[in-house]
Structure 1
Amino acid sequence: MSPPQPCQIRDSRAEDISAIALIYAREVETGVASFELVAPDVSEMARRREGLLADGLPHLVAEIDGHVAGYAYAGFYRPRRAYRFTVENSVYVAEWARRRGVAKMLMAELIARCEALGKRQMMAVISAGDASVALHAALGFAEVGRARAIGWKHERWIDVVTMQLTLGAGGECPPDASS
């Protein structure tokens, strides 16, 4: 038996959507990282991906031994135009691939891609708890807010932590005039 291959981070492809949908469905059904209560189907997940790509934003997967181990993407933080330099990240890892550094690798690449796009801030709205907060803190995010008992899922109240990471020049100077 050959040793496991290292994790490869790459752009997601249409053929990854079934695996992405399974990873997300498990989180929706058993976890608290998403406040959705019913997992979207494959066609809805494909629509969401296409929307992000149409906006020019990154949608990545981590692959180990030819299998999708996780995915991450950046979406606009809010729809109003003044927020166009701020993105919100999402990252999900398959249960079998957890505690292998997959989320950190996905996030590092996502951050780099967003900086390359000229984004200035990345927000994380975290409902999953300590592991996700620790991941984001390890990547340089700072907690900027906490909403207590804001979500009700799996018969319990869940807090949401908001964290922020400055990208590139952040708020130190105006963006390019063409933006």
Structure 2
Amino acid sequence: MNNDLIIGDDGLARPPWAASNEMLRNYYDTEWGMPVTSEIGLFERLSLECFQSGLSWAIILSKREAFRDAFAFFNPEQVALFSEADFERLIEDSRIVRNRLKIRATIANAQATLALRDEGGLADFIWSYKPAHTPTPVTLDEIPTQSDESKLLAKALKKRGFKFVGPTTMFALMEAVGIVDTHLIGSHRRGSSGVWQA
């Protein structure tokens, strides 16, 4: 048996991070690694990964509804128009992560998302960095934290005005939205996205 997988009381195998509480287990079982292909969906995930940088994902996930409320449900057309008054409102909002640089980055990224529409849009742009192969990790140590594609994606996004989009953050985004499948071999979620074979 793979020691990096935990068998839940439902008999299903998950990695430790997804077995630690009900919120993370539900996220892992229903959402993480499933394809996200809409502009708003990808802008939200990009924004949340930006805020997650240096923090635990559990913190961000627990504040997700507050983030949605604070950032106009991640509609990039609305966030792109946020004013200094909106910035001050967000800095005072104790429900979210109040990091000045990350809030500024999210507003800038909304503006960059709108500009990307001339190149086919955020979703097509991000998905164009889907690799030819996905990792097949058996243990947690075998899961990469970045890839050649995530490095190229980070560089391309930065060139187009995006911020807080380093290669590690972009690899986490690629994992979260199904561009790569880093579910451990033996996990009940391996291959569930339909993008990759188990």
- Asked if Structure 1 and Structure 2 have the same fold, meaning a TM-score greater than 0.5 normalized by the shorter chain, the answer is no
TM-score by length of structure 2 reads 0.24
- More strand, by proportion: 1
- The structure showing larger relative contact order (alpha-carbon pairs under 8 Å, at least 6 residues apart) is 2
- More helix, by proportion: 2
